[in-house]
Amino acid sequence: MGERTGGDGFAVNPTLIAHCRGGFEPECGADLARIAMRAGATLVPETVQGRAVVVASTAHFDPRRWAAALAADPAVFARSIFVGSGPHALSKRDRVAPLLASARAFGPPFQSLWLETTDTNEGKRLSGLCKRLEPLLAHAASNAGLLTPGDARRPRLHVLFTEVQTAYVGSSDAGSASAWPMGIPRLKMPRDAPSRSILKLVEALVTFLPDAECLQALRPGMRAVDLGAAPGGWTWELARRGLRVTAVDNGPLKGEIARDPLVGHLRVDGFNYWPRRPVEWMVCDIVDKPSRVATLVAAWIADGACRRCIFNLKLPMKKRYDEVQRCAAMIRDTLDLRRLRYTLRLKQLYHDREEVTGYCARTS
């Protein structure tokens, strides 16, 4: 079951495997196609609705150019991507040996082993198999010299089970890939938080900001504005970190956050509010047309009302991928016109539903 390899030891024309939210397979496939074009590769994605994974065959694939393209233009709808092969048919009698044979084509030794399933009901039924198999596979991989735990410079080894006897095998670069198996962070819901929307903000912070930068960017005493704040989940998280927050929403805040001394609540429309002086952060989870939110974000950043922004774009329309690209272009056009230096990232997070989350920050 070994793969034919090129001069760099990497599989020739491998398969790309990407986890995504179920129902967003076409958008995930468009992500892969965009990145492949930048990398000079040809790609044919298979997008099965509800499968929560996209598999794409490739041609003219160069792993270094792919890694550079992925780092320069990250995926929006793909949670986690690895370069691999498959599907591999496995025997119940011996799954380990053929999996290791396939892994040799993808740049061992590996720093870690991730056994994964799809984020579906069928995937949940396979999680028990992964738990039983993982220690056996890790032990065999270590004995074969394919696994060197702790070496962060090495790629990760992925084994994705789609059925009991069917798996994809491959690797991802820790520098540009998701930090979590299947692209799913394990976050705990704080007991006192007023809403589960807090998890979207927390996931956005750990996704867009490295730990050291996050500590610098969210220091106690900084000022923030939360547009569309009610019932107060994002305000709660910012205040918990010691920021002074202006919560803007016609609706009420719920629970202890309504009485927090770090929080001031203004009952006005978020689209009509403007701070008297610049703040470090603006966050926005307003339910409205994505283009309207994008225009608002661009104005706050361009005019210096805030330095950093995390926002959600709600996507109820059919052409979701095109709308995200249009909104990104609107923000870039506004900031480029001002000749500003900035960072802009968009990502459909695990805790997002019919939406994507964005991060925009001035860097000059």
CB 117 within 8 A of CB 126: yes
Give how far Cα 50 sits from Cα of 21, 122, 175, 356, Å.
8, 11, 29, 18
Distance, CA of 178 to CA of 81 (rounded, Å): 8
Catalytic annotation present for 131: no
Greatest distance between any 2 Cα atoms in the chain:
69
Distance, CA of 194 to CA of 185 (rounded, Å): 21
- Pick the catalytic residue: 188, 200, 314, 347? 314
Annotate 289-305 with three-state secondary structure: CHHHHHHHHHHHHHCCC
Total residues found in the chain within this entry: 364
Give 271's DSSP letter: G
Annotate 200-234 with three-state secondary structure: HHHHHHHHHCCHHHHHHHCCCCCEEEEECCCCCHH
* Catalytic residue list: 314
